[in-house]
Amino acid sequence: MTRAGFTSSLCLSAVLLALPLAAPLRAQTGTTAAPATTSAPQQQPAPATQPPATSNLGPAQGQGQGQNPGQAQGAPQDSSQYTITQQVNEVDLVFTVTDRHGHFISDLKQSDFALLDDQKAPERVYSFTRQTNLPLRLGVLIDTSTSIHTRFAFEQQAAKEFLLQILKPASDKSFVMGFDVTPDYKTPWSNNLDTLSTGIDGLRPGGGTALFDAVYSACRDRLLDAARGQEPVRKAMVLISDGDDNQSHAYLDDAIKECQRAETIVYAISTNVSPSRDRGDDVLEKIAEETGGRAFFPKNISDMPISFEAIQDELRSQYALVYKPADFKADGAFRPIYLFCLDRRYSVRVRKGYFAPKPN
């Protein structure tokens, strides 16, 4: 096929793909399906009939909260709580949209997007929300290896100020990890800012760098289980490092896959202040890109707070989409995701896919 023919085919496919994504919301009214948890549930036989499901667009549009499918239409709803109903084979996507200048676009509708899950349009869309304000589960990973010794005190202060600004103790939780040769968990999950600040202050630089082991461990031991509660959460990791690794047992791909299993977005801040980018910067960018996050490369260490501010803005300016994949199989395989905006002036940042649950 020629390049022109391929481009025309892709544009036509984008229009067609938007229809199955948007149709359930236009065609169905009534009860609203609640948002899913971020962990992928085990496959179960589908019932013979299923109630209609729509997103929570309408009077509560943009608040990231859904109505209980069993709640009578028109019944009062407590907007301060999340009502969760476990759905079969749900996928919960959190993503951001920016223009060519990097500005967030937060007023798009569900019909403005098209989606492929494992090369197929979704079978059903349960909900779509704008500027979701889900509770945050945030891991802060700080490189404490010898290579960042001269910049360490500034990184500590910037990280503490970031947590002070972004964490809402009533709903959010975070943990702190330092890493050199081995991961060093300084705090468990906590919403106490004093506890988290003390954990950051307790980090000490020295030793080699096992970056991949640290990312893998944080996802496996903390973030993978972070969504197994009574409400959906948004999971993210802030990784502060120069990206160099000389001690890990895990490989880069292992770390990325574990982030995808834990459905965790990674925001990486490079501490490399040399005039040119190096291999470590490329590593940080790959981790962020594959998980739907973003990598930052401050020109000076004093610019690090600007990167933290950008992360804070992004975490509070995201869309959430919950859907049922077509032809889903609980086989433990990786299912690629392709989500894009029909207005090609805008770019969508989303994780590249997810792992289906393994059969029992």
Give dist(CA 239, CA 266) in Å, integer. Answer: 7
Token pair recorded at residue 341: 């905006």
Residues 6+ apart with CB under 8 A from 339: 93, 95, 113, 114, 115, 116, 321, 348, 350
Give dist(CA 37, CA 98) in Å, integer. Answer: 25
How many other C-beta atoms lie within 10 A of the C-beta of residue 254? 15
Q: Using alpha carbons, list the distances in angstroms from residue 276 to 91, 115, 136, 283, 340.
A: 39, 37, 34, 15, 32
Q: What are the tens digits of pLDDT across the range 297-334?
A: 998 888 999 999 999 989 888 899 999 999 999 898 99
Q: What are the tens digits of pLDDT across the range 198-207?
A: 999 999 988 8
- How many residues in the chain? 360
Give dist(CA 28, CA 26) in Å, integer. Answer: 6
Q: If you ran DSSP here, which 8-state letter would residue 252 be given?
A: H
As separate numbers, helices (DSSP H) first and strands (DSSP E) second, the chain gives 7, 13
Q: What are the tens digits of pLDDT across the range 159-214?
A: 999 999 999 999 999 999 999 999 999 999 999 999 999 999 999 988 899 999 99
Q: Using alpha carbons, list the distances in angstroms from residue 205 to 142, 211, 260.
A: 10, 14, 29
Rg (CA), the chain: 21
pLDDT for res 275: 79
Residues 6+ apart with CB under 8 A from 23: none
Give dist(CA 212, CA 101) in Å, integer. Answer: 31
Average pLDDT of span 64-91:
45
Token pair recorded at residue 227: 């969504």
What share of the chain has pLDDT > 70, as a percent?
74
Give dist(CA 216, CA 222) in Å, integer. Answer: 10
**Dihedral sign from CA coordinates of 20, 22, 26, 32:** positive
pLDDT for res 358: 83
pLDDT for res 229: 61
Contact 276, 303 (CB under 8 A): no
DSSP for 317-334 reads S-EEEEEE-TT---SS-E
Average pLDDT of span 40-54:
38
Q: Supply angle C-alpha 344, 56, 51, rounded to 5.
A: 110
DSSP for 136-202 reads EEEEEEEE-SGGGGGGHHHHHHHHHHHHHHH--TTT-EEEEEEESSSEEE---SB--HHHHHHHHHT
Q: Using alpha carbons, list the distances in angstroms from residue 178 to 105, 155, 198, 265.
A: 34, 12, 13, 19
The phi and psi torsions of 227 (rounded to 5 degrees) equal -95, 0
